[in-house]
């Protein structure tokens, strides 16, 4: 059985925690897109970890963790992440890296920074992890696949071609020092040594696993609204964040993905530039940011303060639809326990008209939030295990969200720890 865990919003929904929790009863966990530009925060018996490249299942000894072909593979980063776990007493995880994954190169990181510098005030707010230059090269067919590391003669020839092309851009567009063929080649050879123990034909491995009835999790990074096709283009990431892409980025048939657990945040947060209709500012935002997540809403990779907002029903309903959500995990609900009243964005007003369906970007830029207020519950709901024990105002808020989404909320997360979860039977469940 293949199950995807993906985000409905702008990322940072708490997918890591849900994956970590569901990984307990799974055999294989796969990253299928993105790179080390976003992070998952996981708290377990070994401590608190921010994982950037490894899937969230690495803490169990019964699971296999896979980096799928769709990932932007930063090899030294992966190597250090594995070492970091071992240093903190986590048993050496079983890891496979797809031989079809492509390699994120140091020059991708440089080009990311050079482009942000060139754009100046009009920059995208990239995390400068090299993700956009990496995927550009992949689709321009000048990227390096892991498998190419094992054919040295062809590799050298390709390095020469790629470096010649990159140097034209470095010289004439960015006015930066040129790259050296030998250096790039040697970097790739050193990467081969690091990655070799993990390299596998992942789609073949998964084909067998599916036939044997193994439980497989696809772990998404970021969320629907950062998808390059269906998100707030161009303020998006460079690989698809949707469950559907899990089939491609892992190498499995699309019809094998039976369950799409879509993680929805009980309020909104976003990083980077772009329209954010339910955004709040000033003290109101500072308070929510300070109380949000586990120890505040600050980027797991960059430490940047996240932009904050109220729950956006328009964006989240769209986010669930475009994921093909079969069930929803509603997270960070405990954070809202301090509020007398909880506003929710239930519509967008654009040029005097109220809409309920998430629009394309130029319309989104003009949208003003239509807010509906809910009564706060004013208590700490952490530690509660049964849905019926939640305060009535809290259940009303959850049920209002479920009605807006039209997807059963089967899990409510009321704290950052693995077992801070309330399972729920929804009347929408078939």
- Give the residue numbers marked as catalytic: 12, 40
Under a CB-based contact definition with an 8 Å cutoff, are residues 8 and 328 in contact? yes
Detail the DSSP E strand segments found in 254-310. Answer: 257-265, 268-270, 279-280, 307-309
Query: For the purposes of burial, counting CB atoms within 10 Å of the CB of 201, is it exposed (0-12), middle (13-18) or buried (19 or more)?
Result: middle
- Should residue 40 be labelled a site residue for ligand GDP when binding is judged by CB under 6 A? yes
Rounded least distance, CB 294 to ligand GDP, Å: 4
Q: Which is nearer to ligand GDP, 185 or 338 (CB)?
A: 338
Residue 20 CB, shortest distance to ligand GDP, in Å, is: 9
Among the residue ranges 10-18, 160-168, 190-198, 231-239, the one whose residues contact ligand GDP (CB under 6 A): 10-18
Kindly state the number of chain residues that form the binding site for ligand GDP, as judged by CB under 6 A: 25
What are the residues whose beta carbons fall under 8 Å from the beta carbon of 290, sequence distance 6 or more? 296
Q: Is 55 in the site for ligand GDP (CB under 6 A)?
A: no
> With contact defined as beta carbons under 8 Å apart, do 303 and 51 qualify?
no
> Can you tell me which of 116, 294, 393, 396 binds ligand GDP, judged by CB under 6 A?
294
Taking residues 11 to 30 in sequence order and writing x for each that binds ligand GDP by CB under 6 A, - otherwise, the string is: xxxxxxx-------------
Dihedral over alpha carbons 404, 375, 265, 345 (to 10 degrees): 50
| Cβ at position 85, least distance to ligand GDP in Å | 17
Nearer to ligand GDP, 177 or 383 (CB): 383
CB of 392 to ligand GDP, least distance (A): 20
Which parts of 53-151 fold into alpha helices (H)?
Answer: 75-87, 106-119, 131-139
- Residue 64, C-beta contacts closer than 8 angstroms, at least 6 positions apart: 27, 28, 29, 57, 94, 95, 96
Minimum CB separation of residue 263 from ligand GDP in Å reads 6
Task: List all residues 6 or more positions away from 384 whose beta carbon is below 8 Å from its beta carbon.
Answer: 390, 414, 422
For tokens 């995208």, the residue is 124
CB 32 within 8 A of CB 70: yes
CA distance 243 to 100: 19
Considering the complex, what minimum distance in angstroms separates the CB of residue 16 from ligand GDP? 3
Question: Is the CB of residue 112 less than 8 Å from the CB of residue 133?
Answer: yes
Name the 3-class secondary structure at 341: strand
Residue nearer to ligand GDP on the CB measure, 209 or 232: 232
1 touches 218 (CB < 8 A)? no
Site for ligand GDP contains 7 (CB under 6 A)? yes
Nearer to ligand GDP, 17 or 108 (CB): 17
Judged by CB under 6 A, the chain residues 390 through 429 that form the site for ligand GDP are 413-416, 420
Residues 334-353 as x/- pattern, contact with ligand GDP by CB under 6 A: xx------------------
Site string for ligand GDP, 298-337 (x = CB under 6 A): --x------------------------------xx-xx--
Nearest residue (CB) to ligand GDP, 15 versus 138 = 15
Structure tokens at 155: 């590799």
Q: Which of 38, 53, 67, 405 binds ligand GDP (CB under 6 A)?
A: 38
Which region among 37-45, 86-94, 142-150, 249-257 touches ligand GDP (by CB under 6 A)? 37-45
Nearest-angstrom CA–CA distance, 430 and 426: 9
Nearer residue to ligand GDP within complex by CB, 102 or 221: 221
**Least distance between ligand GDP and beta carbon 238 (Å):** 17
User: In angstroms, rounded to a whole number, what is the distance separating the alpha carbons of residues 387 and 397?
Assistant: 13
Using the minimum distance from each CB to ligand GDP, give the nearer residue, 163 or 411: 411
CB of 114 to ligand GDP, least distance (A): 27
Residue number, 94 or 418, with CB nearest to ligand GDP: 418
**CA-based R_g, the chain, Å:** 22
The 10 Å CB-count burial string (b at 16+, else e) for 218-237 is bbbbbbbbbbbebbbeebbb
Binding site for ligand GDP (CB under 6 A): 7, 11-17, 38-41, 43, 293-294, 300, 331-332, 334-335, 413-416, 420
């Amino acid at each position: 059985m293949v199950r995807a865990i993906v985000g409905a919003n702008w990322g940072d929904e708490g997918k890591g925690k849900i994956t970590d929790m569901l990984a307990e009863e799974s055999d294989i966990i796969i990253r299928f897109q993105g790179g080390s530009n976003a992070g998952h925060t996981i708290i377990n018996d070994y401590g608190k970890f921010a994982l950037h490249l490894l899937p969230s299942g690495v803490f169990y000894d019964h699971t296999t963790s896979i980096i799928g072909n769709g990932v932007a593979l930063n090899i030294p980063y992966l190597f250090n992440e594995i070492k970091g776990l071992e240093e903190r007493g986590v048993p050496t995880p079983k890891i496979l890296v797809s031989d079809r994954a492509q390699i994120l190169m140091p020059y991708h990181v440089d080009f990311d920074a050079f482009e942000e510098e060139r754009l100046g005030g009009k920059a995208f707010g990239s995390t400068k992890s090299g993700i956009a230059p990496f995927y550009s090269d992949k689709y321009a067919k000048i990227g390096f696949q892991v498998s190419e590391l094992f054919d040295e003669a062809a590799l050298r020839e390709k390095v020469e071609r790629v470096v010649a092309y990159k140097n034209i851009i470095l010289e004439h567009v960015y006015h930066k020092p040129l790259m050296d063929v030998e250096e790039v080649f040697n970097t790739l050879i050193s990467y081969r040594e690091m990655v070799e123990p993990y390299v596998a034909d992942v789609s073949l491995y998964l084909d067998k696993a599916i036939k044997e009835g193994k439980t497989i999790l696809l772990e998404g990074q970021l969320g629907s609204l950062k998808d390059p096709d269906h998100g707030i283009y161009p303020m998006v990431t460079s690989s698809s964040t949707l469950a559907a892409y899990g089939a491609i980025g892992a190498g499995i048939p699309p019809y094998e993905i039976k369950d799409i657990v879509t993680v929805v945040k009980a309020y909104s947060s976003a990083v980077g530039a772009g329209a954010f209709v339910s955004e709040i500012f000033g003290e109101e935002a500072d308070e929510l940011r300070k109380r949000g997540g586990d120890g505040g809403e600050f980027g797991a990779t960059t430490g940047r303060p996240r932009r904050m907002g109220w729950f956006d029903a328009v964006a989240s309903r769209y986010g669930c639809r475009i994921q093909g959500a079969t069930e929803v995990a509603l997270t960070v609900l405990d954070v809202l326990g301090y509020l007398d009243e909880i506003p929710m964005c239930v519509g967008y007003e654009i040029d005097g008209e109220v809409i309920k369906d998430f629009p394309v970007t130029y319309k989104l830029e003009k949208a003003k939030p239509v807010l509906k207020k809910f009564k706060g519950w004013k208590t700490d709901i952490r530690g509660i295990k049964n849905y019926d024990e939640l305060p009535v105002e809290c259940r009303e808020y959850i049920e209002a969200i479920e009605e807006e989404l039209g997807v059963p909320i089967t899990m409510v997360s009321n704290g950052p720890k693995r077992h801070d979860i309330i399972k729920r039977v929804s009347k929408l469940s078939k």
